[in-house]
Amino acid sequence: MSASLTRRLILPAMVLGTTLLSGLALFSGGGASAEPGTTAEPLVISSKVATAQSQVRAIAPPAAYQTGRENSGSANSSVQVYKNGSLVSYGNKHITYVAPPKDLIPLGEALYMQNCASCHGTKANGVAADNTPGGYPNLRGLGPATIDFWIESGRMPAADPREVQAGRKTPKLSTEQAHAIAAWVNSLSPATPYIPIVHSPGTADTSDGFSLFALNCAACHTITGGGDALAKNTYAPSLRNIPSTQVAEAIRTGPGNMPRFTGNLSDEQVRNIVGYVTGNIQHPVNPGGFGLGGLGPVAEGFIGLALGVGILALIGFWIGDRT
């Protein structure tokens, strides 16, 4: 290959290479590119967030976690099961909310002290070991679904407690261990919602689920569920590969910056949303063959244009090169 030809191929090769790399990132991530990593100045940012959280706590005590509407995640549901005088499960034909078994409480206490107490405090009230209150969330009165969601989605124990937003990762604790910790924390200050079991979300009304998803969820998570960046280094995570229980837990408890959907969504509506997310969102039909992460027309247009222009440039150089 002559020197002049090499020189001429540099530009199109760079275009093509960059495009292929970004395309690979899109394919492999499946929306992961919308989840920024730890920022360069975690300390500065985390102090802002801590301020925001303590303000929120001032006006939003955990006790106000309930709804008065029936069949919307709180105990006032069609079916309530008591055992030895305590509510062990409640719900209806759409969702059953189950309390973690009480015999797991001793195990849960031990696991909590190992994995959680250094930040959330030995009393689970957000007062850390060094007695500085306000820096970490108070876990009391949140209900088992909240505790279970944060542990089972791998967000807790946090990789770096200073990061702006704990990211989803491979869970460190098993489902049973998560339930154990939820059981112990809930025994300190019993509350609902319990852990939701969504009944056969595969048969839910996904048409209604889509409407509700578009109205309530798509603004942040995007209409394809790929997630997107939000304000102040926060982001809405991708909804791919999230089991039905965690989808329902997130809707009912509002983890992090997500709003808490309680009385404005009935259990039937939540089941329809869960059915839509675990069905259509997580198993998208891509008639063109490639979904490109479902990141929207800008990303798709960029890939199409850059890839197409790169290849066309290579072909153009080949055709035009006569000597």
Partner 1 sequence: MSDAPQEERTPVSLATATSDDPHMQPLARDPERTERLIAIAMFFGILGIIGFGVAYWFNADAWVYGFTMGIGVLLLGFGITAWGKYLMPKGPFVEERHELRGTDEERESLAAAVVQRGGGILGRRKLLGGVAGLGLAAFGIVAAFPLVRSLGPLPKKTLTKTDWRRGSYLVDSTGRPVHVDDLAVGGIVTVFPKGYQDTESGQAVDQTVLIRLTTENFTTRPGRETWGPAGYVAYSKLCSHLGCPVGLYEQQLQSLVCPCHQSMFDVTNGCVPTFGPAPRPLPQLPIYVDGRGYVRAQSDYKEPVGPGYWERS
**Is residue 87 helix, strand or coil?**
strand
**Which stretch, 15-23, 183-191, 285-293, 295-303, contacts partner 1 (CB under 8 A)?**
285-293
Beta partners for residue 95, in sequence order = 198
Backbone conformation region of residue 126, classed left if phi is above 0, alpha if psi is from -120 to 50, else beta: left
Q: Which of 18, 28, 47, 55 binds partner 1 (CB under 8 A)?
A: 55
Q: Is 49 in the site for partner 1 (CB under 8 A)?
A: yes
Question: Which two three-digit tokens encode residue 313?
Answer: 């440039």
Other Cβ atoms less than 10 A from the Cβ of 32: the count is 17
Please list every residue from 201 through 260 that binds partner 1, using CB under 8 A. 211, 215-216, 219-220, 230-232, 234, 254, 256-260
Q: Which of 56, 81, 129, 305 binds partner 1 (CB under 8 A)?
A: 56
Please list every residue from 4 through 33 that binds partner 1, using CB under 8 A. 5
Q: Is 289 in the site for partner 1 (CB under 8 A)?
A: yes
**Which stretch, 53-61, 122-130, 145-153, 295-303, contacts partner 1 (CB under 8 A)?**
53-61
Who contacts 198 (Cβ-Cβ below 8 Å, separation ≥6)?
A: 94, 95, 244, 245, 247, 248, 270, 271, 274, 275
Q: Closer CB to partner 1, residue 67 or residue 177? A: 67
**Which stretch, 58-66, 78-86, 196-204, 273-281, contacts partner 1 (CB under 8 A)?**
58-66
Please list every residue from 65 through 84 that binds partner 1, using CB under 8 A. 65-69, 72
User: Running DSSP on this structure, what letter comes out for residue 134?
Assistant: T
User: Using CA atoms in the order 77, 82, 87, 89, what is the torsion angle rounded to 10 degrees?
Assistant: -60
> Least distance from C-beta 260 to partner 1, angstroms?
4
DSSP 205-229: -HHHHHHHHHHHTHHHH-TTS--EE
> Least distance from C-beta 105 to partner 1, angstroms?
26
Number of residues counted as binding partner 1 (CB under 8 A): 46
Q: Which of 262, 270, 273, 294 binds partner 1 (CB under 8 A)?
A: 262
Other Cβ atoms less than 10 A from the Cβ of 146: the count is 27
**Which stretch, 27-35, 102-110, 128-136, 286-294, contacts partner 1 (CB under 8 A)?**
286-294
Who contacts 104 (Cβ-Cβ below 8 Å, separation ≥6)?
A: 176, 179, 180, 183, 184
Asked whether 144 and 183 are in contact (CB, 8 A), the reply is: yes
Residues that bind partner 1 (CB under 8 A): 1-2, 5, 49, 52-53, 55-56, 59-61, 64-69, 72, 211, 215-216, 219-220, 230-232, 234, 254, 256-264, 287-290, 318-319, 321-323
